[in-house]
A and B are shown apart, each in its own frame.
Chain A
Amino acid sequence: MLNRKNIMFLLFLVVFVILFDIIMGMVFRSLYFSEKSMQNDPLIHAVVGTDEEILVFGSSRAVHHYDPGILEDSLGKSCYNVGSGGQNIYYHLAILEATLERYVPDIAILELMTIDFEVTPAQWETEKLGVLLPFYHNSAGVKRAILRRGSSEKVKNLSSVYSFNSLLYTIFRNNVFPFNNHIKGYIPIDDREWKNEIGNAQDDDTKIDSSKMNTLFEFIQICQSKKIQLHIFISPHFIKTQGGSKYKDIIKNIKYKFGLEVNNFENHQTFLKDSKLFADPLHLNSKGAKEYSAIVSRILKESVKKPE
């Protein structure tokens, strides 16, 4: 039997939980998507704010290597770097789909990394998609990506506060102490030069993850079906590839399936000879990024002149 005090507790508990969720969810949403946040957080702009003609997709190597200013000056088109550190092809596809729900860009650049097609712990990959939670209700593409984390996400996302899980500090920072370290999504590494000798790549023991590979192919297919000029790049790194490139099979596959050439800068001598262009073996510093972005813009310019 329920006594009056306990009925009141249960009733008020349900009411307070719902009220907290609705009110705080609204507060978080309005602060997360505030004008200040949109300006300062490249992630928010990438998902809901872009209208640029060129978009750069990829992980940290995209974020640090592609300077939109150089691409814009050279091609006369607006550009935004929608890359995000540590992310992989599931994330890139979600951003592409969210973009296509609003408009169709002219050119897409995809910086390909091994994490975009090789086997890694599944949980590790899907956990990172959590950064897209605030956009779960905004975009079908994002929703599809979030559901890769598990079917329980459908239930969890019934809560409007859950969309902003662990983002309280980010919301506070974006609105109170905005920290802007990017230029249209590009984050230059200004203060570091790699001084060590060139390292050797590990042997090619890449195991292809079929789910990731299919997602990569889906990314390419969507671009082709929407007539987006897609350019896939593998930007330079300061590592000698001895036992063969880890990318060789995927490059062949992309060429075979889609007739698309991958621009592979793994063994580009300008970069392999100059450690000062790197911040670490995997990332160019701002000096290297400028040089590399200039090369990329030349390639893009050529292809714009001679459309397929």
Chain B
Amino acid sequence: MNWKPVYAILMFLSTFVTWLCGILVDNSESNLRRKVFLIISLVINFGILFLYKYYDFLNNSVYEALEFFDIRWPVPNLDLLLPVGISFYTFQAVGYTIDVYRKELKAEKHLGIYALFVSFFPQLVAGPIERASNLLPQFKREHFLESDRLVSGIKQMIWGFFMKVVIADRLALFVNAVYSNVNEHNGSTILIATFLFAFQIYCDFAGYSNIAIGSARIMGFDLMTNFNRPYFSVNISEFWHRWHISLSTWFRDYVYIPLGGNRVSERRGYFNIFLTFVISGIWHGANWTFFIWGSLHGLYNIIQKYFRMDKIQFSGFSGQKALFILVNFTLVLLAWVFFRANTTGDAFMVLSKIFTSHGIPFVGSITTFVYGIFGLIILFFREISEEFFPPKLNIFESENPVVSALLNAALIFLIIAIGVFDGGQFIYFQF
């Protein structure tokens, strides 16, 4: 993740092109003209994204492939730094153009309002990737300070900071120490690090989303929910209805459905699922690790669909449901190995060590575990309460202002007392 003032030009270019093409598409009578303006918008936006995010990866891949056949590939890398938030605002802006093309939305005439939609600060750098139909009308309404929004926004921000600073950044200390040196650690250590990474990335990203949604709500804007306790999913399909919802629905609406969705032959349907997940993987980063991560999720989905496992319904909590949650979490965990590993070689080494090399795990700093696990216990308590108990029994949903204030003050105290203030940036800033 990088930011230079000159990168504002890229964002402005993306904004201006999608705004202008939106108007031109909207004003065109002929379908051909509409399509041409849509394609211009897509080519420019994805072209910028390709140049900054994927060019070097593709160039290196071609270089390595040709080197295998002793063929020289003299094209140099561009070595461009990835501008912060580029994947997020590009997708948001492109989604708008497609909506206008599909006549689901009228083009926004006011450049300022449209620019605000693309660059709305709470969600600019790491989402949620908003839909124009949801956000644009909100910029045209007058906003007043509303106490319910203010209070719920503050609560959501406090919880977001807790997830990020107390849990994610604390667990990162251990996870990074292990994953930056996987060949030095045994399988037990790596397994623990992988398990903790699942919660690190969840708390990092969901924490950011909570802060973004909460701060927008305080100002009177409603952003879409981005996470909904994903690790309680009983299958992969449900996982993607609960994890990074704004991205998965984007891919559903702008990739999967245009490919034909499930209204095609069974085989073609599976292909559509696989391709959508592969693209989703590559969206996260220009690396084969993300390609494999996306492919794995695609495969999981196809297998579960083939065996109709996505149709299994559970009413209430049961042992069988717990087993499905556990199996699903294990599959997600396995895929996280590829997401976190620095290279595919590292990822395969991690998997081989997890299954073959056991021993006494490396603990490192005891405080990392003490504070990290304490934070996780609070997370589990909250998420189990929200998932399985009615709101009345959930202390985090207490209607009593004193209880609620006490609870949130305690969270602020924990953030200050055991939060990591030297922690790194948000993981998703790099995408």
Contact = CB atoms under 8 A, between A and B. Distances in A.
Interface string A1-21: 111011111111101110111
B419 A12 contact: no
B79 interface: no
Contact of B417 (A3, A15, A24): A24
A269 interface: no
A130 B367 CA distance: 15
Nearest to B367: A169
A107 B388 CA distance: 66
B112 interface: no
B225 interface: no
A275 to B, nearest CB: 23
A162 interface: yes
A50 B401 CA distance: 49
A159 B414 CA distance: 12
Contacts of B299: none
Interface string A124-144: 000100100000000000000
Interface stretch (B147-155, B206-214, B306-314): B147-155
Contact of B416 (A5, A149, A165): A165
A161 B416 CA distance: 7
Contact of A12 (B402, B420, B422): B402
B419 A20 contact: no
B92 to A, nearest CB: 30
B406 A10 contact: no
A187 to B, nearest CB: 17
A299 interface: no
B406 A12 contact: yes
Nearest to A3: B147
Contact of A8 (B154, B367, B401): B401
Contacts of A3: 147-148
A26 interface: no
Given A17-B412, A21-B416, A166-B367, A1 B147 contact: yes
B366 interface: yes
Interface string B139-164: 00000001110110010000000000
Most buried by A among B147, B406, B410: B147
B384 interface: no
B148 A20 contact: no
Interface in A160-184: 161-162, 164-166, 168-170
Contacts of A161: 413, 416-417
Given A12-B406, A123-B422, A6 B413 contact: no
A162 B416 contact: yes
Interface in B377-431: 399, 401-402, 404-406, 408-410, 412-413, 416-422
A156 interface: yes
A159 to B, nearest CB: 5
A13 B419 contact: no
Contact of B409 (A20, A156, A159, A168): A20
Contacts of A6: 147-148, 150-151, 401
B370 interface: yes
Contact of A17 (B367, B409, B421): B409
Given A12-B402, A13-B405, A169-B367, A20 B412 contact: yes
A77 B417 CA distance: 40
Please indicate which of the listed interface residues A11, A19, A127, A161 has the most CB atoms of chain B within 10 Å of its own CB.
Answer: A161
A230 to B, nearest CB: 32
Interface residues of A, number: 33
Contacts of B401: 5-6, 8-9, 12
Interface in B264-286: none
B418 A21 contact: no
B338 interface: no
B88 interface: no
B410 A20 contact: yes
A11 B402 CA distance: 9
B300 interface: no
A7 B147 contact: yes
Contacts of A7: 147
B366 A12 contact: no
Nearest to B402: A12
Nearest to B371: A166
Contact of B370 (A9, A12, A165, A169): A169
Interface in A53-102: none
Contacts of A2: 147, 150
Contacts of A15: 405
A169 B413 contact: no
Nearest to B366: A169
Nearest to B149: A6
Contact of B405 (A12, A162, A169): A12
A16 B405 contact: yes
Contacts of B147: 1-3, 6-7
A245 to B, nearest CB: 29
B23 to A, nearest CB: 39
B422 A24 contact: no
B418 to A, nearest CB: 6
Given A6-B401, A8-B402, A165-B421, A16 B416 contact: no
B151 A10 contact: yes
A168 B413 CA distance: 12
A168 B408 contact: no
18 contacts: A1-B147, A5-B401, A6-B147, A6-B151, A8-B405, A13-B154, A16-B405, A19-B409, A20-B410, A21-B413, A130-B422, A149-B422, A156-B421, A162-B421, A164-B417, A165-B418, A166-B420, A168-B418
Q: What are the 3 A-B residue pairs with the smallest beta carbon separation, nearest first? A: A16-B409, A12-B405, A6-B147
Given A8-B401, A21-B413, A165-B421, 20 more contacts: A3-B148, A6-B147, A6-B401, A10-B150, A10-B405, A12-B401, A12-B402, A12-B405, A13-B154, A13-B405, A13-B408, A20-B413, A130-B421, A130-B422, A156-B421, A161-B413, A165-B417, A166-B420, A168-B371, A169-B370
Interface of B: 146-148, 150-151, 154, 366-367, 370-371, 399, 401-402, 404-406, 408-410, 412-413, 416-422
